[in-house]
Amino acid sequence: MRRTAGTLLLAAALGLAVTTFGGSATAATPRSAYLNVVPAPVSAQPNAAAAYPITANTRIYVDPSANQVGDYLAGILRRSTGFPLPITPAPATPTDGIALLLTGAGTQVGAQGYQLDASTAKVVIRAQTVDGLRAGVQTLRQLLPAKADSPTVQSGPWAVPGGHVLDYPRFAQRGAMLDVARHFFPVGTVKRYIDEIALYKVNVLHLHLADDQGWRIEIKSWPKLATYGGSTEVGGGPGGYYTQADYQGIVAYAQSRGVTVIPEIDMPGHTNAALASYAELNCNGVAPPLYTGTDVGFSSLCISKDVTYTFLDDVIRELSALTPSPYLHIGGDEAKVTSDPDYIAFEQKVFPILQKYGKHAEGWHDFLKANPPTSAVPEFWGTTNSDANVTAAAQRGTKILLAPANKTYLDMKYNSSTPLGQNWAGYIEVKTAFNWNPGSYLQGVPESAIAGVEAPLWSETLVTTRDIEYMAFPRLPTIAELGWSPAATHNWTAFRARLGAQAPRWKVLGINYYPSSQIVWAK
């Protein structure tokens, strides 16, 4: 690889020895694993003279309140190494093994960051929170050979290369959205996606639980929503839904990986599945048939009926009780058959219901026209660089979540020959997904007003786990990088090699991906 000014700049920004920055280099000087971590850390200094060998005698020392993180790491490494890797309460100053400590981290690491030190004697990850340790463990995974992620025992050696990392996120919220309404995905598929996003330090899973084609969450006070409204999907397949126990299982699984679930019930549009399930929710009292097509914007809850708000109170109450997150997403997009005055009247009745159950609203940015509370988070999904309502909200102190459709929508095709996906927001090759700056993207919206970034995956055309993965990889890690890594590390030339270095791990994990020709793929 040619050493461009950009790569030198990146190396300088990362505090790296430029001599180790050889890119595709040569067998003689393999690229340090510290240069391949995605998302790029705030700073990383490899020490090529040291390495910690994980052996049959290695212990994992854990601060007892972070036992779950120790179990997670041990669970991965026991499968591939075959070593016992016992979890042991951490002494004040461990002298060997892998230590996960909630003491001694610098204040810069904040609530989500960590520092990692690997020497010949030991590996120590320090953070101020359990989430910080989880982030450090994801980095440690990426420092190990890809085969450390194998589900079956492999032969070593298992060297953690020596070095130091100081790391924390640029934005607090890094999200992935999965549309389980257009096509239903079973619990196991959702858990697999959680594992995949957690590897890239994504900390929010936004689940799009209800749309015209399906209602996917059991609501005990309105049972037909799930049993009837969930009984089909795009194309007419059998659909499905999560019982409340299933949903709680997903929430707990996500939590154990540092991922918060934010559930979405889209309203007042995108509600045909609910309208089909209960005739009384329709202004004319007649239930429409279930819908299995892909049109948008044709349905609306009945704004003028009291039962609409009884229904929403019940749904929000039940969902709030199942959801530890302080946010519920209430959609609000494409209410094309709802007049503006009706839309505003509707939202003004819904915001207090959320408040009553202790939740803040997240919503597609369309809902700004109904003047939500300042604490509500609009998710910008437009395809332009300016939106007057979003700018005004940011100026009032509202935090904005960025999911510009022409950059972050994982359901857009990569190019005209991509077999899956749509193209209404354009084609999104990896470079297009990478080359924008969330901190200065929207006119009049400064970096300080950005809550974070999210990569939505809509499922009109996606049926299987392999479909999900093909659209998410490699763009999901790309958007994760924009959400986590400092702007100073943003460099396409460096990124296309760093991202390409992930491929061996995806192969070990069985992750299907689009082998973009823009990326320098490692063998």
CB of 132 to ligand NGO, least distance (A): 32
Considering 334, 379, 447, 454, which one is annotated as catalytic?
334
CB of 225 to ligand NGO, least distance (A): 19
Q: Are 339 and 266 in contact (CB under 8 A)?
A: no
Choosing from 458, 470, 484, 513, the residue that interacts with ligand NGO (CB under 6 A) is: 458
> What one-character DSSP code corresponds to residue 120?
S
Query: Among residues 149, 218, 318, 333, which is the contact residue for ligand NGO, using CB under 6 A?
Result: 333
In the shown chain, the binding pattern of residues 474 to 503 toward ligand NGO, with x for contact by CB under 6 A and - for none, equals ------------------------------
H/E stretch holding 45 reads strand 43-53
Residues 377-396 that bind ligand NGO (CB under 6 A): 381
Q: Would you call 334 a catalytic residue per the annotation?
A: yes
Smallest gap from Cβ 460 to ligand NGO, in A, equals 6
| Cβ 21 to ligand NGO shortest distance, Å | 38
Angstrom distance (rounded) from CA 95 to CA 103? 15
Beta bridge partners, 205, equal 176, 261
For the bound state, the minimum distance from the C-beta of residue 232 to ligand NGO, rounded and expressed in Å, comes to 17
Binding residue (CB under 6 A) for ligand NGO from 246, 313, 334, 342: 334
**Beta strands 400-402 and 450-457: pairing type?**
parallel
Adjacent-strand bridge partners of 242? 217
Closest C-alpha to 331, from 263, 400, 421: 263
Which residue number places its CB atom closest to ligand NGO? 458
* Nearest of 172, 138, 145 to residue 30 by alpha carbon: 145
Are the beta carbons of 25 and 49 closer than 8 angstroms? no
CB 216 within 8 A of CB 210: yes
Tokens of 332: 């609000």
Nearer to ligand NGO, 441 or 458 (CB): 458
Q: Which helix (H) or strand (E) holds 147?
A: none
Site for ligand NGO in 284-303 (CB under 6 A): 296
Residue 318 or 387 having the CB closest to ligand NGO: 387
CA separation for the pair 294, 291 (Å, rounded):
9
Structure tokens at 199: 């590897």
Q: Which of 426, 198, 413, 221 is nearest to 313 (CA)?
A: 221
Q: Which of 21, 168, 247, 364 binds ligand NGO (CB under 6 A)?
A: 364
Residues paired with 453 in a beta bridge: 174, 402
Return the number of the residue (144 or 290) whose C-beta is nearest ligand NGO: 290
Tell me whether strands 377-380 and 214-215 are parallel, antiparallel or unpaired. Answer: unpaired
Show the site string, 402-441: x = touches ligand NGO by CB under 6 A, - = not: -------x-x----------x-------------------
Closest contact distance (angstroms) between CB of 398 and ligand NGO is 18
- Considering the complex, what minimum distance in angstroms separates the CB of residue 218 from ligand NGO? 23
Which residue's CB is nearer to ligand NGO, number 198 or number 393? Answer: 393
CA contacts within 13 A on the Cβ side of 422: 15
Q: Which is nearer to ligand NGO, 189 or 294 (CB)?
A: 294
The nearest distance, CB 18 to ligand NGO, in angstroms, is 42
User: In this structure, which amino acid lies at residue 48?
Assistant: A
Nearest Cα to Cα of residue 465 among 403, 430, 420, 501: 420
> Which H or E run includes 164?
strand 159-167
DSSP codes joined into one string, 94-105: --SEEEEESSS-
**Count of residues of this chain found to bind ligand NGO when the rule CB under 6 A is applied:** 10
Q: For ligand NGO, give the closer residue by CB, 275 or 522.
A: 275
The DSSP secondary-structure symbol of 109 reads: G
Task: Give the whole-angstrom CA distance, residue 452 versus residue 399.
Answer: 9
Q: Give the nearer residue to ligand NGO in terms of CB position, either 367 or 495.
A: 367
The residues of the shown chain that bind ligand NGO, judged by CB under 6 A, are 296, 333-334, 364, 381, 409, 411, 422, 458, 460
What are the catalytic residues? 334
